[in-house]
Amino acid sequence: MINPYLKEDREYPLITIKRQAEQLKAEGHDVIDLTIGDPQDQTFDGAVQTIQNFMAANSVSQYPLATGSTHYLEAVSNWAERNYQIELEPIKHIFSSNGSKEAIFLFALTFDWSDRAKEIWFSSISYPVYEASARTVNAPIRKLPIDRMSGFFPDLDVITDIEWERCRLFWINSPHNPTSMTVDRAYFQRLLSLAEKHGFIVGSDECYNELYDDQRPVCSLDFHQSDRWVAFRSLSKRSHMTGFRLGAVLSQNEEIMKYFRLCRSPIGVGTPTYNQEAGISAWNDEQHVEHNRQQYRQKRKLIRSALMNRGFRIHGGRDGFYFWLSHPDWPTAEQLCNLFLSQGICVTPGTAFGEDGEGYIRLVYCISLELCQKLRLRIEKIDR
């Protein structure tokens, strides 16, 4: 009777880690919790003020449109044109989402999985939602192996044409969670060319694209001539608005957008109107995003130096707000977690993102600069 995937004795991995950190705090331990990518710095103040103004002026609350108000979609369209010089029609090519996670999870509903020869592909170390979504709808999956030698992205050229014919949806996430690694333009172009040849869709999870160190990472929106991508964007990271649950889905593939839009209305995922108003102010403002980028540059430099002084190997870590770490003296994820925990630092084992994450941990630094200073001092106490 019950969906077999839901009956498995397992919990969403990051919730398990978060609960352990909260338990340590409840026991009186002074823990620096670096497990969840939930920014602790100030939310974009323009969004907060917009909501306050809206609530003061509107005493009646009504259902929002399932795919977003025209004004919200126009704000996203203007943002895309301003930043990527791409023209997307607000109704045909964009709709709102409650952050990016729910849209990513629900996207698989758009496709027919009765043909068991078609699969959803994602990296063997990845955001757990891709697998959770696929398995909830009982879609066949393929985990593409990645490691340090592959740059933590799948090697596209080792996959045969026969294998590519099985792919219906390919998930890419650059900057990559959990490693913060990125792909270059040639890689992305190669992937889109394969999608065109073999008829699959590239789901591009771009939650971290605006939090870069020096050069903006390439993304789907840079490829104006392709309709093989569907981009998932969010205000959670760029604007520190995780609690607002605000994002957008963008694509030039009108067929995919039509049917994805149709499946969303009965689910009841319409973004509250007051949140959309706050989102409009955030999409229209670039100054606060640059401020956030600058803050992360400071934090990145501070923590990177401390980690490298203790012999840690940092893989990626130039974009987003994660460090993906290993150490030659502590070869397992459990050893690394215990090592940090000995200094009151709670991190996420790499195995939370897949078995191939063994030997690594993810450290989050979307914390205050003051707490980063405290973290640096604790890292410096780790034995070499």
Digit-coded pLDDT (tens) for 369-378:
999 999 999 9
The answer to whether residue 384 sits within a structural domain is no
Per-residue confidence band for 327, with pLDDT thresholds at 50, 70 and 90 = very high
Is the pLDDT assigned to residue 19 strictly greater than 80? no
- CATH number of the domain to which 196 belongs: 3.40.640.10
DSSP letter for each residue of 126-162: --THHHHHHHHTT--EEEE---GGGTTS--GGGS-HH
Mean pLDDT over 220-230 rounds to 98
Is the pLDDT assigned to residue 267 strictly greater than 80? yes
Is the pLDDT assigned to residue 380 strictly greater than 80? yes
Digit-coded pLDDT (tens) for 241-266:
999 999 999 999 999 999 999 988 89
Q: What is the mean pLDDT of the chain?
A: 94
Q: Which of 1-15, 54-68, 173-187, 221-235 has the lowest mean pLDDT?
A: 1-15
Tell me: do 113 and 167 sit in the same domain.
Answer: yes
pLDDT at 184: 97
Tell me: do 22 and 78 sit in the same domain.
Answer: no
The answer to whether residue 110 sits within a structural domain is yes
Tell me: do 257 and 314 sit in the same domain.
Answer: no
Mean pLDDT over 104-123 rounds to 96
| Residue in 141, 145, 212, 224 with CA at minimum distance from that of residue 182 | 212
Please say which residue of 225, 252, 283 terminates a domain. Answer: 283
Q: Which of 16-25, 34-43, 206-215 has the lowest mean pLDDT?
A: 16-25
Tell me: do 310 and 274 sit in the same domain.
Answer: no
- Return the beta strands (E) in 235-317 as ranges: 247-250, 313-315
Q: For residues 210 and 324, what is the distance between their CA atoms, to the nearest angstrom?
A: 19
Instruction: Tell the burial category of 59 from Cβ atoms under 10 Å away from its Cβ (0-12, 13-18, 19+).
Output: exposed
Digit-coded pLDDT (tens) for 139-189:
999 999 999 999 999 999 999 999 999 999 999 999 999 999 999 999 999
Is the pLDDT assigned to residue 13 strictly greater than 70? no
pLDDT at 14: 65
Residue 371 lies in domain: 4-43+287-379
pLDDT at 4: 86
Is the pLDDT assigned to residue 11 strictly greater than 70? no
Number of domains present in the structure of the chain: 2
Instruction: Answer whether 0.85 is exceeded by the pTM.
Output: yes
Rg of the chain over Cα atoms, rounded to whole angstroms, equals 21
Digit-coded pLDDT (tens) for 199-218:
999 999 999 999 999 999 99
Tell me: do 196 and 90 sit in the same domain.
Answer: yes
Tell me: do 163 and 109 sit in the same domain.
Answer: yes
Tell me: do 268 and 292 sit in the same domain.
Answer: no
Q: Contact at 8 Å (CB) between 143 and 170?
A: no
